[in-house]
């Protein structure tokens, strides 16, 4: 599992309670592809997935064989998809 520098900065800017929840979700992602709650994205992000915790989303892209998960965006649901 890899986390981009941008995602690390976004995570560090979140409240500590949300950071813990995100950490729990990241641990769950290690069970990919059997993790529950992940949803495929569409449009420009068609090869990406998102998983949520409260009002926050973790956007990630699994490798073709599913062995590596790259987390590239962590943020509030209202603006995580804007870039």
Instruction: Domain count for the chain, please give it.
Output: 1
Mean pLDDT, range 64-76, rounded to an integer: 93
Q: Is the pLDDT confidence value at 83 over 80?
A: no
In this structure, what CATH number is given to the domain that contains residue 27?
Answer: 3.30.2310.20
Q: What is the pLDDT of residues 10-26, one digit of tens each?
A: 999 999 999 999 999 99
Q: What is the pLDDT of residues 36-56, one digit of tens each?
A: 999 999 999 999 999 999 999
In the numeric block, which tokens belong to residue 22? 């995100």
Question: Residue 44 falls within a domain, yes or no?
Answer: yes
Q: Is the pLDDT confidence value at 67 over 80?
A: yes
d(CA 57, CA 50) in angstroms, rounded, equals 6
> Could you tell me the residue range of the domain that residue 13 belongs to?
2-76
Model pTM?
0.92
Give CA angle at 38 (74, 57), nearest 5°. 20
């Amino acid at each position: 599992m890899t986390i981009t520098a941008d995602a690390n900065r976004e995570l560090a800017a979140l409240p500590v309670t949300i950071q813990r929840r995100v950490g729990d979700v990241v641990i769950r992602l290690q069970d990919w592809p059997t993790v529950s709650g992940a949803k495929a994205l569409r449009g420009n992000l068609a090869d990406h997935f998102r998983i949520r915790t409260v009002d926050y989303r973790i956007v990630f892209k699994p490798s073709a064989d599913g062995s590596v998960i790259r987390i590239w965006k962590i943020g509030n649901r209202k603006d995580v998809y804007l870039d």
